[in-house]
Structure formats: C-alpha cells, structure tokens
C-alpha cells in the first residue's frame, strides 16, 4: 500500500479509535521479516517495544540507487507504525529519504497528538535510523 493510499484512508477516519484500529490493520499487512533479520544490528534503539529494520540497496527502473526497507515489531500498534514509516520511505532514493519529513505526515494524519511520548520517541528512532542509512548510502555513491 502506498503512502498516498494510507493518507487517503486516514482522511475517512474521524475517530482516534478507528485510526488506531487501522494502524493495527496496516501492521498485519506488513510482510513478515525473516527470523534471521531479527538481529542486534537490525534492532532499533530508542523504542520501548522491540523493532527491527532491515535495509537493502537496490535500483529503480531508471537505474537510480534506492533503499528498500523491511521491518517488524513485537507490538501490534508499533508494527502498524513500522508499516506507515516503511510506506513513507521504502523504495526511494537516499536524497528523497533525507528530504522527507515524517513528523509532517504524522501531524497531518493526527497521530502526533495521540501517540504516547514513548511511541513518539520510537518513531523518531525509526526515522533517524532510516535517515542514517540514507546518509551512508549517499556518501557511498
């Protein structure tokens, strides 16, 4: 599911409980991360729940380097947040990743005011990890 589709679906949900359930559903659509990828190197620091992000470099149809992310969490709502962050950043160039503001999206979706401080910190940690990988990929290019 694309970030535009997710944003559109959120626009139909007025109630926070409906948005919460939708996040959980997003998490259920997340492709399972291989057990071998549940490593300490892939673990995201700063999340109250356990979160793993795996980054792979690839190329798009134009031959540009893109980063493809996959992820997982042991908590349903956090797994949904992982799915949302991956929809925002995966299969984009490092430059596009670095220019994308996740906080603006979370504000637009009405999530910023409803996430606990711990979950907000976890999202920031996920985004920083993704941007760190994008900076490394840009430097290697």
pLDDT at 141 over 80: no
Within 13 A of 123's CA, how many CA atoms are on the CB side? 25
pLDDT in tens, 104-116: 999 989 888 888 8
What pTM was estimated for this model as a whole?
A: 0.93
**Residue 80 domain boundaries:** 3-140
Closest by CA to 137, choosing from 97, 85, 100, is: 97
Catalytic residue IDs: 47
Give me the number of domains the chain comprises. 1
- Model confidence over 78-93: pLDDT tens digits? 999 999 999 999 999 9
77, 51 contact by CB (below 8 A): no
CB hemisphere CA count around 32 (13 angstroms): 3
């Amino acid at each position: 599911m694309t970030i535009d589709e997710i944003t559109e679906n959120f626009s139909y949900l007025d109630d926070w409980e409906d948005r919460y359930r939708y996040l959980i559903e997003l998490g259920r659509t997340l492709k399972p991360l291989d057990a071998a990828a549940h490593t300490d190197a892939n673990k995201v620091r700063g999340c109250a729940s356990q979160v793993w992000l795996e980054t792979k470099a690839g190329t798009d149809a134009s031959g540009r380097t893109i980063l493809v992310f996959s992820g997982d969490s042991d908590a349903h709502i956090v797994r949904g947040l992982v799915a949302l962050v991956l929809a925002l950043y995966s299969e984009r160039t490092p430059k596009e990743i670095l220019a994308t503001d996740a906080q603006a999206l979370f504000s637009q979706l009405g999530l910023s005011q409803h996430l606990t401080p711990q979950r907000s910190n976890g999202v920031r940690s996920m985004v920083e990890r993704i941007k760190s990988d994008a900076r490394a990929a840009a430097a290697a290019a």
